[in-house]
Amino acid sequence: MRDQVGIVIVTYNSGGFLQPCLQAALKASSIVVVVDNASTDDSVVIARRTEGVRVVANKQNLGFAGAVNQGFRLLSTPYILLLNPDAILSSDLTPLIEACRRPEIGAATGRLLHPTGEPQFGFTVRRLPSKSTLTFEVLGINRIWPNNPENRRYRCKDLNLSQSQRVEQPAGAFLLIRRDVFEALAGFDERFYPLWFEDVDFLARMANAGYGVWYDAQVWAVHHGGHSIAQLSPNERQNYWYDSLLHYTAKHFRPWEVRLIAVALFVGATGRIVTGIFGGRGLGEEFIGVLKLAARALRFGPRREPVRSTTAWTAMEEERK
């Protein structure tokens, strides 16, 4: 089975986690590709000195989606595992490959565990976001009342992760994808830049195309999580996340739903700024940019351009001609 699956690992200043990830990946596959998004640490050095790993060192950050498309373009295996550099494979991938051989299954995943061995509930699998889900999120309701019914449904708190089953939205940190399905959907949409919602968008498009996702409880990886996000400033974090959220809504929801979520975002960001001022935490400058994003969405409405790539996927298509 090792020659049936290739592994793509996207790095960005991931040197502190990369070596154990690569060592475990090479036990599961004979083909491992690291795509580095212009790291300033020793990520590329570590990857290059690991025998059996192919390395692509980008001179600029193409974003997570662009790097994923690059990695997939370099592989010809029928199944490709997308794996985070802070995730360590701890079991055989055969059950995931077997699941993806079923014609109705386009992707498969397993359990993600904290280093302590505890399951990563709320992250390993989620349901695809609805307008209610995103409205609760941008209003800040999920932070104030995390156990509300909508958030519990979205984060699959009702699922028994010890049982294998169909799921909607596994984390892109550990996701096996059929190559033919990936190509049919034109890969990841690189307009989700630099990160967030690109994997959610892909899985939503995959579901619309009639393919399901299989979760196998007997396959797992240990996942540290959040190392790349921690490198972003609060302003970058908020702006990137909400910009990608609005792009997702524009692609998958009706125009009035997009504006509803934009209104909720405007109200939620305003509330956080006011709370920060009166709570003595400052102006909350990171939400000034979020207000501008919400206002732009309200003014211009949703943009429903076709899925296209600005970098890696275009190169893939040109190579085929």
Q: What angle do CA 126, 166, 140 make, to 5 degrees?
A: 10
pLDDT, tens digit only, all 321 positions of the chain? 678 999 999 999 999 999 999 999 999 998 999 999 999 999 999 999 999 999 999 999 999 999 999 999 999 999 999 999 999 999 999 999 999 999 999 999 999 999 999 999 999 999 999 999 999 999 999 989 999 999 999 999 999 999 999 999 999 999 999 999 999 999 999 999 999 999 999 999 999 999 999 999 999 999 997 777 777 888 888 889 999 999 999 999 998 999 999 999 999 999 888 877 766 665 567 788 898 899 888 877 655 444 444 444 444 444 443
Q: How far apart are CA 230 and CA 113, in angstroms?
A: 19
Going by DSSP bridges, is the β-strand pair 174-178/212-223 parallel, antiparallel, or unpaired?
unpaired
Residue-level pLDDT at 315: 46
Q: Which of 82, 168, 155 is nearest to 119 (CA)?
A: 155
Q: Please, where in the chain does CATH 3.90.550.10 lie?
A: 2-229
Asked whether 316 and 69 are in contact (CB, 8 A), the reply is yes
Q: What angle do CA 164, 165, 169 make, to 5 degrees?
A: 115
Q: Which of 195, 192, 181, 188 is nearest to 11 (CA)?
A: 195
Element (H, E) at 172: none
**CA atoms in the 13 A half-sphere facing the CB of 172:** 18
- Decide yes or no: CATH 3.40.250.10 for domain 2-229: no
